Structure 1
Amino acid sequence: MIGFAEGAKCGAIKKVFDDAYKSELSCIVVDDLERLFDYVPIGPRFSNLVLQALLVLLRKLPPTTGTVQHKLLIIGTTTFSMRDLRDTGLAGAFNTIVNVPNLQKGPEVMKVLKDSDMFSFEKNQVKALEKGLGPMSLNVGIKKLLAMIEASQLTPNPVDFLLLRLKLDARLSTTDSF
């Protein structure tokens, strides 16, 4: 919705919900909630019109058509802190909030690699990756790690690429300036 005015964003979001109500079972994934209503933590500043539209649509029960009660699962992702969620009112719009902490250690990354099935490593590559991750102090989100894994598939040496990206990310997350 880049370049959309507030009214256009509200209309597009409403259309997604209206389309979802047409099916008996639907799922809407709202990725990066804060980006939809232009949230900026400094201030804080955001589009109140879009936030209010989201809150109304998130709380609205799906319609009943005849004897059929439509069901709608809404999954929202955000990088908000719990305080920010409460401050905007979004926390109350969801039944369940699951905090997914950043990955801190090599074995956590290895578990994601094995469980994601995004690609398979040869045995020597697994050992090289485990060795490279061993002493590393990490602070990477699951979404970012999955993107790194996907990008590494496109390189001639995915293990070296992944280790380099993780090292760079760890450095950037522990420094305040470049």
Structure 2
Amino acid sequence: MSVELMVWDAPVPVSRDQARAAYLEVRKGEPVQRELPEVAKELPGTVTVYGDHVLVTMDLETMDEMSAQVFEVARAYGLVCYDPQRDLVHNVAPLGVYQGMQLHTGDGLIVHDPDLGLVHDVLGTMSPQNPFVALVTFGHHFIQVSPGYELEYKEGAMVRAEVAELEEVRRAFHEYATGERGFLSRHSWSAV
């Protein structure tokens, strides 16, 4: 089985609905026979050009590793990347304040320097198939959550808090990514 990612240039951040609509429209069309754009030469997998959009096809077994490479190349070129399997869009900005921060999920997604919109959307994908989401600034601190909204934070000692709603989890992750720490005073934390 194969999976795809779509890469293209967009002047402003793209929502998941916009990315999904663009992908579906591109898939209705026919590939363009022309010289590959510079970015396409650096992408792994099988690359197909559809006008201003590039589709990258890869095997399901190599999806996590190759997707990370595609995200990295797209970011280097300032391009948007849409993952139709996960229904997630990777925009160039806005980013968090920690250079090198990583987004990890229980279903194998790893993104270096994720945009804040992606972090927001990924938090809505938690399920038995995706049992956690974490933002990690290696060597310093991290925040993670599991279904049921058990929030954990580590900066020195690790602490845990139960959070009632997804929107509060999203707020905590946004604050963490932007260097704010309001989430620490809003919740009752216990040592782990």
Compute the TM-score of the two structures, normalised by the length of structure 2.
Answer: 0.25
Quick check: which one's strand share is greater? 2
Compute the TM-score of the two structures, normalised by the length of structure 1.
Answer: 0.27
Quick check: which one's helix share is greater? 1
